[in-house]
Amino acid sequence: MVELLLLLLLLLLPFLLYMAAPQIRKMLSSGVCTSTVQLPGKVVVVTGANTGIGKETAKELAQRGARVYLACRDVEKGELVAKEIQTTTGNQQVLVRTLDLSDTKSIRAFAKGFLAEEKHLHILINNAGVMMCPYSKTADGFEMHIGVNHLGSGVTTYSVHPGTVQSELVRHSSFMRWMWWLFSFFIKTPQQGAQTSLHCALTEGLEILSGNHFSDCHVTWVSAQARNETIARRLWDVSCDLLGLPMD
């Protein structure tokens, strides 16, 4: 009798998980950007905006009336996404520009071109990144992860953790792609994953929290090392030295 009940439970488990998945996903993605701020006349740059969280972030900012630059390595894919966002939002001010964060020449060229086009930058979303790449180096000889995620993106005002999101970030790992597929019912959608970035970009009065780490649209805990100003200063100095930038 006990064995029969266990077998029945095992057979029902997938169905129960499937039925509970929407509620579990909702619970895991509790943070939602509630700002109603509109952005006419504002200029925005979103890196890695041709897919995933970056794409959803750019779409929302365009929906609010901003002029949005999609800074992408794959310009062809970026153009397709720009047209999609233009059609969806009715905002034709969605532009694509080349940016390869693994090459400082590309970064400087992007910055020079942007400054020639715009007088102001109101919102910068450093969304692009890599994870679990096979060992390789950037065009400047840096290990790919630190070269793209830290040195390429520079120092951001806010640090955000979007949570576990269905995106192309795991494309370099077959195991992680399999895990993402297996637990896809419980993983955040890119739209849900974009909420914390949008919260930090749009919510008024967050200036006093500059430098904090956010998750699910709230300030969250970071380790003692991450709060250590001596370590932070050392990291800044080393990073500037690697990039040949002044340290002040």
User: In the prediction, which pLDDT does 128 show?
Assistant: 87
DSSP state of 47: E
Q: Which CATH superfamily is domain 39-129 in?
A: NAD(P)-binding Rossmann-like Domain (3.40.50.720)
> pLDDT band at residue 44, thresholds of 50, 70 and 90?
very high
**Per-residue pLDDT band at 178 (split at 50, 70, 90):** low
CA dist 220 and 236 (Å) reads 22
Q: What is the model's pTM?
A: 0.80
Q: How confident is the model at residue 169 (pLDDT cuts 50, 70, 90)?
A: low
Domain with CATH 3.40.50.720 in the chain: 39-129
Candidates 192, 89, 173; CA nearest to 130 is 173
Q: Token digits for 137?
A: 């180096």
Query: 107: how many CB neighbours lie within 10 A of its CB?
Result: 21
In the predicted model, what is the mean pLDDT of residues 111-132? 91
Residue 192, helix vs strand vs coil: helix
Q: Name the H helices within 75-214.
A: 75-89, 104-117, 144-145, 174-182, 190-193, 195-202
Average pLDDT in the chain: 82
Is the pLDDT confidence value at 244 over 90?
A: no
